[in-house]
Amino acid sequence: MPHSKIAGMGFYVPEQIVTNKDLEKVMDTTDEWIRERTGIEERRYAKKHEETATTMGVQAANIAIERAGLTNKDIDFIIFATLSPDYYFPGCGVLLQREMGMNGIGALDIRNQCSGFIYALSIADQFIKSGMYKNILIVGSEFHSCGLDFTTRGRNVTVIFGDGAGAAVIQATEEEGKGILTTHLHADGKFAEELAYYNPGSHGGVFLKDKPERQSNYGEEPEFGGIFMTNEMVDDGQIYPTMNGRYVFKWAVEKFPEVIHEALTKTGNVVDDIDMLIPHQANLRISQLVQMNLGIENDRVYNNIQKYGNTTAASIPIALCEAWEKGKIKDGDLVCLAAFGSGFTWGSALIRW
């Protein structure tokens, strides 16, 4: 039975650098406050009306395909992970397919937010193992800056996120002991509203009955239709993401090590066997606590949230590709990927490079 490997990677980040000092000009925050709580120094923002999650994904995908020694016509299937799609529907998968001239092949969109790339990797791995496809393109791309609240009201969320894209070609291989060794996926919907972007939406407050402070002020509702936006939603800032930061932090610090140990146990490895850990770039303080919990040295963990912020579904492929480009991942290394985010969803993957 064939198994899968990462045959090529690429990433793209927009040219525009937005520093903490830049954010000080539009909201009540400071460089010191942001660094202390998140570790972030700067992030990238895409060009409005010129770049999208899809166009950034194409940039990353072109690099990944070239590095895999393939052409666009060699790709059998596309998996696109994002929480900031170009359109409500259709998804970015078909838009990327159109832009890259891959007409006719399947395109799957997944909405697993911060865990999106891990979920995409696991899905691709299963397709390869089944023999259904030979070359799968997976993309994580985010255009966060188009949907953030750039006022003091939204600072706790806004200062964290940046834009960018990462991509990988997952390919069938017969080489034993190499490639994707195991993936593990989890979710717990009890905490869905702790990190969410739920207005405008069709829920009508159904899931927020015990959280009156989060319910939308719908005003006078029409007789028909469920998805609409009111002036009250805009005025109350209900059209922006909401996050219970302390709650997310607490659960992330718990679930990261848990799912990493799960992957190690499945393959008969221990923490000391990990050559490089690439955590989802949620918050540098979370990564540091997870690292301390596991007892891993600094040179075996790669973080780049300091310069890119949290790019959600794009953060793992960006960090993985950048670490590889810098020579921090070498042939034969055991690489562990892990993510935790909205849903709550979390997951891990163990790869023999």
Tell how far CA 15 is from the center of its chain.
Answer: 20
> Is 321 marked active-site?
no
Among residues 199, 283, 303, 310, which one is catalytic?
Answer: 310
pLDDT at site 216: 55
Per-residue pLDDT tens over the stretch 172-218:
998 888 999 999 999 999 988 887 777 666 665 666 666 655 555 55
Among residues 280, 283, 303, 336, which one is catalytic?
Answer: 280
* Concatenated DSSP letters of 29-88: --HHHHHHHH---EEEEPPTTT--HHHHHHHHHHHHHHHTT--GGG--EEEEE-SS-SSS
Low-confidence stretches of the chain (pLDDT beneath 50): none
The answer to whether 299 and 315 are in contact (CB under 8 A) is no
Among residues 20, 112, 114, 283, which one is catalytic?
Answer: 114
CATH fold label, 3-173: Peroxisomal Thiolase; Chain A, domain 1 (3.40.47)
**Exposed / middle / buried, residue 235 (Cβ in 10 Å: 0-12, 13-18, 19+):** exposed
pLDDT at site 221: 57
Question: In whole angstroms, what is the distance from residue 314 CA to residue 12 CA?
Answer: 9
Q: Whole-model pTM?
A: 0.93
> Is 203 marked active-site?
no
User: Which residue ranges make up each domain of the chain?
Assistant: 3-173
> Is 310 marked active-site?
yes
Question: In whole angstroms, what is the distance from residue 52 CA to residue 242 CA?
Answer: 22
pLDDT at site 243: 79
The answer to whether 60 and 184 are in contact (CB under 8 A) is no
